[in-house]
Structure formats: structure tokens, C-alpha cells
């Protein structure tokens, strides 16, 4: 039976419908806003996976069907290929808030698939996909502690708006996604134009109020569907095993976590785990290796959290607000355009900035239309950064997500294309990792941009905040390490300038936090960001005034659009010859903007002179250098600009009578000539005599 519910939020109608499409899925809905429609399905495997240990067996896929926007895919196969970066980031956006809401110990695989089946080019389908995932899971048999709601918040002037269109986002100083359940906020993601912590908090509160309306309408849908949740088996550690492991290891783990150095601590834990497995698998009970390790991890988690909450200390010996030691270095790679090494504790990012021309822009062919990126940040996480040996393949979802967060943080301070006509690429290679490599990327990226001479508006620093919470008791941790991230309840990343925030990303392992924790976290993060900023600015306080000698120099010329054909030439012959002769790159826009780039100043100037010569308009009264091309009885034809000739009549060759032209000039001679007339047919008349006379006067 088809069931359809609608709700109007701030004048925008959301429509959720089930029972019409994908009826063999355990849960399936369509969510519509304007002309954008997303189909979301949820399915679970009927048989549990016995090899599942401490992870939720959830996969989330997001697909953009090109037919949704009335397009046919490009390429040879003419069908959708691998997911775009936007699709990967949206899949993560769906995954992050729903993952903590499945029951602990779930062993049945769950797959959520969101497909954009209609796109109006105005409303972003990503937030609709979050609502759809929640709705599909909530009306299915799958155990899920929902529903949740998600909205995007914009800020134009001093007015917050809900789910701004793509056009409105271009004017908005805030792009914030808020996801929550009935109790609290469960996820945040934002890019902002250096706005204050107070403004971010108000935007979150504004969004959460609308989230509650979306939850209420989903609850109506759940009641209408009346589906009973399945009673699925959950993996739980045997009480006897947990007791044995705790008795064997409890005191030892407490002693191990008094070791502040990560390497020694990990080595001791590995040795303890090996000894424990050997002892308990050989015993009468014959416990499984996986069960023993799971019990050990659970006890380790309890001890780490107890140390934080009840002993008021961190496992590495720091105070709750203390940042690990920071070192910064710039200009360490001699042939790159800009480089920086940022180290915070045992997390290290090597970031390199490369400057390119408009030919290096990244073309984005999205459902909402074609666009070009002039700023890119790519993040790499090699296995050696955490002391592992494993195959190296292309960037995974985590790498793409971390890179997108750092890019979002820095994009807000990048100069406009008019001010700095370069394509900029920053690459962050993580060389060590023990907590918040994405925020290290923000700091290292800022330093490398300034080292490259990119005129950013202001430096950006970033910090990752953590949380350990038990009931009403909680502790907020500044600059979380890997073990605090793993066993803690929150990963709250904040990046910004001295003036304000540029990016936020919050993920939880619990079912929500209140505004009091959010406010305290933002305040504590600001203190930390400013401390880090001091360290960075002590190394370089502002962008360098000069670019690297190896970076291209770009000059933009403005020519008459009608003269573009003169630069390009027949079949591109002229422009190819300029490029071949000078080694420059040339990009021409339809409005007559000509971008010429080269790392060689001499060749750059040479190419500019050629282009100016090809496009310069002849002016009456101006003196040019003429070269004799042809000689006639009545005078000499001279080239004064590339492809532009004029006639020096025999009477204008000299200040005396000239009987024969060859007596004064010959083919190939060069001398100054003055333009004395351009007749109604466009013919140019020149005078050598007047040019010489003007020269004598000077």
C-alpha cells in the first residue's frame, strides 16, 4: 500500500513516500524537495556473519543517475561509471550519523542505497538522502535507533535559511549540515566564511529545530507502516570469558596505560594479547581467538575511559586542554613551488603547493551543471604512517573525506581568480599519524600556501576535540590522540582563522550531544586554534611576496574579441607556433582575455610581444618599426605589425627628391615609419620622412 506524508518547513515542502517503488527491499522510500527526488532503500542479510567482531556491518552507497538531470553520460560506454568524489562524500554524509544508531554487536549485514532519480539543479539531494536513509531504516525490520533528520543551513546577511539552493549557497556565509535525533545533535559538517563560534552555535540551533519537524513526520510514517523490528542475534562477549580476561589483564592494562609513548604502549599491548590468546585457547574452555581479543578490547576501552573520567588524566600524561608539541618548517623542498612540514606530537603532514594555469583547472560534470575547480587539496595516508605494511591502492573514502574537510577549511581564505589567476593544488602526505591528520593537513596546507606566495586572506589552523561521557558526567579533550579517538565518544574538528571558523566536522559514537557540550567544545577549540596559530605564524606570518622561480608567471592581456582569430590563426596554426617557439602556455577566453604563462620571464615577454603585435590596432600619428616587404615604382610596402602592412609613398621616403625607390631602401631594410593616414578602405599610409623628422625634434 502506498503511503505518502508531507511537511512544510519554512515554506519548503518535503514529501516522503513508500509502497510504490522497490517493494522487495526491507525498507524503501522516495524523498522529494522541489524537483529533486532521491530513492533510498535499506536491506539486511537474513544470515549473520560470524566473523564480525567490533564493527557495524554497514555499507552505504550513493548514486547520481545522469538521467535525473536529463543528461546522457559521456565516455565510450555511455553509462554511469565509478562514483564521483561528490558521491563518495555524500555516502559518508549518510553513513556517519546512522552508523552509531545500530545495536552493538549486530552481525547481519545492512546495505543502504541512495539513488538520485530526479534533479532540478536547484536543491542538493545529499540532505534528502540522509532523510531517506533514516526513513527506509525506520520503516524496515532492521533494528535502528531512529528516526533522525537532517537539514542544510545557510546564512545570507543576518538571516538563516533552511536547505538553501545552489544559487543561494553562493551568497551564503554558512554551509552547515545538521543531523539529529529526538534527543540531541548526532552529526555536523560545515564550511563557513570566518564566522564566530556564536554564529555557528545559532546556526546549529536553528537547524536542529527544523530537524525535529522531519523526525516527527517520519514517526507518523513508521506508525502508518506498522512494521515490527526483527529480533536479530547480537554478538556479546561471554560473561565468564570477560571475567577471566579482566582478572588476567586488568592490572596489567592499567600499568601499560601509564606508558606515554605510543610505540612502547602498543608493543606491550600486543605482547599481552598474544600471551592471553595462547593461554585461553589452550585451556579446557577452548575459547576462540576472536572472542578473546574482543573481550580484551572491551576491557581496554573501559580502563581508558575510567582513567579519563575518574582519575582525571589522559593516557599520554597531558592535561585535558594540553596540545602536543608542535614544530613547523617551510621551504624544505628546493624545486617545489611551496612546501611545509607540520608535526604535532606523533602526527606529521608534508604539504606541497603547486601553481598551475587555467589549463590545469579540474572540470566537474555534476548533475547541477558543469563547473571548474581552481583550488584542489588531495590527502594521502600511506601505510607506513601508522607502522603498517599493506597494499597501496587509490584513495579510499577516508582519504577523500579527510581531503575534502581540509579543502573546505582552506577554500574560504583562497584569493579570487581575478586577484590570483592561478590553479592551486595542495597535496598532503601523512608521514606519521596518531590523531587528527586532517587538522594537521589544514595547518601544513596553510604554511605551504604562504611559502608558495599564494595571497590567502589569513592563515588557518585546526584542532580535533574529543569527548568521554558517562551519563551526565563528561570530559572534553583538546587535541585527541589515536587511542582517545578510538575509545572516546566524539571526534569534533574545528578549523579557522583568528577572525572565525572556516570548517567544522563532528562525528559521534553515542546517540547525541546537547548544545552545552557543543558550545564548550567550540570555545575550547578556539583557545587551542589560537595557540597553534602562534606556532605557525612564528615560522611565517604572511604569504611570501615573491613566487618560487620555478612557478609559472601569468600575465593576462585584454584584446578585442574580434582579434582572437588573429592569435589562433587558421586551424590553430598561429597559436601553436607561438607555443612551440616560446614554450609558454596560452589560454584564450571568449571575452578577449588571453592568459600567458611561463616560468621563463624572457620567453613570457617574447610571447606577449608577439600576441600584442598580432592584435594591436594601427594608430594614426604613432611611429612603428617598419620592415620593407615589397618595392614598387611608387613606393615601398612595410610591415609595421604582424600581418599589417602600409605604403611609404616615394614622396615620403626622404626629405629630398627620390627618383628611384631602390636608391633609398631595399627589401629587408628596417626603419621607423609614422602612420599618417588610414583611408576609408582601411589602407595604411606611412611616412619615413616624418618619422625621421620627429626623431630629430626629440
CA 7 to chain centre: 33
- Distances in whole angstroms, Cα of residue 325 to Cα of each of 257, 343, 654: 20, 8, 81
- Relative to beta strand 644-649, strand 684-687 is parallel
Q: How many Å apart are CA 600 and CA 607, to the nearest integer?
A: 11
pLDDT, residue 285, reads 65
pLDDT at position 283 is 65
Report d(CA 56, CA 523) in Å as an integer.
33
The torsion region of residue 19 among left (phi > 0), alpha (psi -120 to 50) and beta comes to: left
- Lookup: cell for 587: 589560454
Give the burial string for 94-118 (b: 16+ CB within 10 Å, else e): bbbbbbbbbeebbbbbbbbbbbbbb
Taking the CB of residue 327, how many other CB atoms lie within 10 A of it?
11
Peptide bond into 147 cis (omega under 30): yes
- Rounded to whole angstroms, the Cα distance separating 120 from 366 reads 12
Smallest Cα–Cα separation from 191: which of 210, 213, 164?
A: 164
Cell digits of residue 380: 594521502
Give the per-residue pLDDT at 256.
Answer: 87
Cα–Cα distance, 601 to 603 (Å, whole number)? 6
Pick the CATH number of 326-539 from 3.20.20.100, 3.30.230.70, 3.20.20.10, 3.90.1150.10: 3.30.230.70
Overall fold of domain 239-310? Arc Repressor Mutant, subunit A (1.10.10)
What is the CA 584 to chain-centroid distance, rounded?
Answer: 30
- Report d(CA 271, CA 296) in Å as an integer: 12
What's the average pLDDT block by block, 10 residues per block, for the chain (698 residues)? 93 96 96 97 92 82 93 84 91 95 92 97 96 98 95 97 96 97 96 97 97 96 94 81 85 84 84 86 73 85 91 89 97 96 96 93 81 94 90 90 97 94 96 93 98 97 96 95 92 97 96 95 97 97 94 91 90 93 92 92 92 87 93 94 88 90 92 93 92 80
The span from the CA of 594 to the CA of 590, in Å, is: 9
Separation between Cα atoms, residue 332 and residue 444, nearest integer Å = 12
Q: State how far the Cα of 41 lies from the Cα of 357, in Å rounded to an integer.
A: 43
CA distance linking residue 87 with residue 126, whole number of Å: 9
pLDDT for residue 53: 64
pLDDT for residue 284: 64
Q: Per the confidence metrics, is the pTM higher than 0.85? A: yes
Q: At what angle do helices 515-539 and 197-225 cross, to 10 degrees?
A: 140
Whether the domain at 3-225 and the domain at 326-539 fall into the same CATH topology: yes
Query: Per CATH, the architecture of 623-697 is what?
Result: Beta Barrel (2.40)
Ranges of each domain in the chain: 3-225, 239-310, 326-539, 553-615, 623-697
What residues contact 208, with CB distance under 8 A and at least 6 apart?
A: 178, 180, 185
Q: Under CATH, which number does the domain 3-225 receive?
A: 3.30.230.70
State the cell numbers at 540: 611565517
Which CATH number describes the domain made up of 553-615?
Answer: 3.30.1370.10
Q: In this predicted structure, what is the pLDDT of residue 32?
A: 98
Picking from 554, 528, 422, the residue whose alpha carbon sits closest to that of residue 466 is 528
Amino acid at each position: 500500500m502506498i503511503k505518502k506524508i508531507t511537511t512544510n518547513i519554512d515554506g519548503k515542502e518535503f514529501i516522503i513516500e513508500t509502497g510504490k517503488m522497490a517493494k522487495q527491499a526491507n525498507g524503501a522510500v522516495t524523498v522529494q524537495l522541489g524537483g529533486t527526488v532521491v530513492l533510498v532503500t535499506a536491506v539486511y542479510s537474513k544470515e549473520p556473519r560470524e566473523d564480525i567482531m567490533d564493527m557495524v556491518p554497514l555499507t552505504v552507497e550513493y548514486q547520481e543517475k545522469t538521467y535525473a538531470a536529463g543528461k546522457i553520460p559521456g565516455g565510450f560506454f555511455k553509462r554511469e561509471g565509478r562514483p564521483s568524489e561528490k558521491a563518495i562524500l555524500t555516502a559518508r554524509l549518510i553513513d556517519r550519523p546512522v552508523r552509531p544508531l545500530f545495536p552493538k554487536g549486530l552481525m547481519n549485514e545492512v546495505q543502504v542505497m541512495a539513488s538520485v532519480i530526479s534533479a532540478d539543479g536547484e536543491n542538493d539531494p545529499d540532505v534528502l538522502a540522509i532523510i531517506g536513509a533514516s526513513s527506509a531504516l525506520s520503516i524496515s525490520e532492521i533494528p535502528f535507533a531512529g528516526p533522525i533528520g537532517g537539514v542544510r543551513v545557510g546564512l545570507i546577511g543576518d538571516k538563516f535559511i533552511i536547505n538553501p539552493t545552489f544559487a543561494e549557497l553562493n551568497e551564503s556565509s554558512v554551509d552547515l549540515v545538521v543531523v539529529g535525533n529526538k534527543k540531541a545533535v548526532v552529526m555536523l559538517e560545515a564550511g563557513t566564511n570566518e564566522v564566530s563560534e556564536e554564529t555557528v552555535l545559532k546556526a546549529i540551533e536553528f537547524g536542529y529545530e527544523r530537524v525535529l519537524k522531519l523526525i516527527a513526520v517520519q514517526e507518523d510514517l513508521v506508525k502508518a507502516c506498522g512494521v515490527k523490528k526483527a529480533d536479530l542475534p547480537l554478538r556479546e562477549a561471554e560473561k565468564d570469558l570477560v571475567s577471566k580476561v579482566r582478572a588476567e589483564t586488568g592490572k596489567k592494562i592499567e600499568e601499560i596505560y601509564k606508558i606515554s609513548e605510543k610505540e612502547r604502549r602498543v608493543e606491550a599491548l600486543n605482547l599481552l594479547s598474544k600471551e592471553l590468546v595462547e593461554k585461553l585457547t589452550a585451556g579446557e574452555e577452548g575459547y576462540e581467538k576472536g572472542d578473546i581479543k574482543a573481550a580484551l578490547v572491551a576491557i581496554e576501552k573501559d580502563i581508558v575511559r575510567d582513567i579519563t573520567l575518574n582519575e582525571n588524566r589522559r593516557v599520554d600524561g597531558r592535561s585535558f586542554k594540553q596540545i602536543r608539541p608542535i614544530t613547523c618548517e617551510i621551504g624544505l623542498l628546493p624545486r617545489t613551488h611551496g612546501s611545509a612540514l607540520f608535526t604535532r606530537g606523533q602526527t606529521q603532514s608534508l604539504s606541497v603547493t603547486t601553481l598551475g594555469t587555467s589549463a590545469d583547472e579540474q572540470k566537474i560534470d555534476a548533475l547541477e551543471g558543469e563547473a571548474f575547480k581552481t583550488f584542489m587539496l588531495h590527502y594521502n595516508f600511506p601505510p607506513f604512517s601508522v607502522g603498517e605494511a599493506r597494499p597501496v591502492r587509490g584513495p579510499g573514502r577516508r582519504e577523500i573525506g579527510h581531503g575534502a574537510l581540509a579543502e573546505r577549511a582552506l577554500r574560504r581564505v583562497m584569493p579570487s581568480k581575478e586577484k590570483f589567476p592561478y590553479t592551486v593544488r595542495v597535496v598532503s602526505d601523512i608521514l606519521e599519524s596518531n590523531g587528527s591528520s586532517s587538522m594537521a593537513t589544514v595547518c601544513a596546507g596553510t604554511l605551504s600556501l604562504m611559502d608558495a606566495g599564494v595571497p590567502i586572506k589569513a592563515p588557518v589552523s585546526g584542532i580535533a576535540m574529543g569527548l568521554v561521557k558517562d551519563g551526565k558526567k563528561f570530559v572534553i579533550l583538546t587535541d585527541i590522540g589515536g587511542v582517545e579517538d578510538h575509545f572516546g565518544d566524539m571526534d569534533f574538528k574545528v578549523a579557522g582563522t583568528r577572525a572565525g571558523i572556516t570548517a567544522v566536522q563532528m562525528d559521534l559514537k553515542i546517540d547525541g550531544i546537547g548544545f552545552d557540550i557543543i558550545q564548550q567544545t567550540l570555545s575550547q577549540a578556539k583557545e587551542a586554534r589560537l595557540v597553534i596559530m602562534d606556532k605557525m605564524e612564528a615560522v611565517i606570518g604572511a604569504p611570501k611576496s615573491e613566487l618560487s622561480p620555478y612557478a609559472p608567471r601569468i600575465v593576462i592581456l585584454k584584446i578585442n574579441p574580434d582579434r582572437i582569430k588573429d592569435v589562433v590563426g587558421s586551424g590553430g596554426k598561429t597559436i601553436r607556433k607561438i607555443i612551440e617557439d616560446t614554450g609558454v602556455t596560452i589560454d584564450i577566453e571568449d571575452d578577449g582575455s588571453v592568459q600567458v604563462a611561463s616560468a621563463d620571464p624572457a620567453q613570457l615577454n617574447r610571447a606577449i610581444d608577439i600576441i600584442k603585435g598580432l592584435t594591436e590596432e594601427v594608430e594614426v600619428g604613432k611611429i612603428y618599426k617598419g620592415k620593407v616587404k615589397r618595392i614598387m615604382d611608387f613606393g615601398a610596402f612595410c610591415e609595421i605589425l604582424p600581418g599589417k602592412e602600409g605604403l611609404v609613398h616615394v614622396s615620403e621616403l626622404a626629405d629630398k627628391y627620390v627618383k628611384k625607390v631602390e636608391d633609398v631602401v631595399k627589401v629587408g631594410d628596417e626603419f621607423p615609419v609614422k602612420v599618417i593616414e588610414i583611408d576609408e578602405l582601411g589602407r595604411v599610409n606611412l611616412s619615413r620622412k616624418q618619422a625621421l623628422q620627429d626623431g630629430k625634434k626629440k
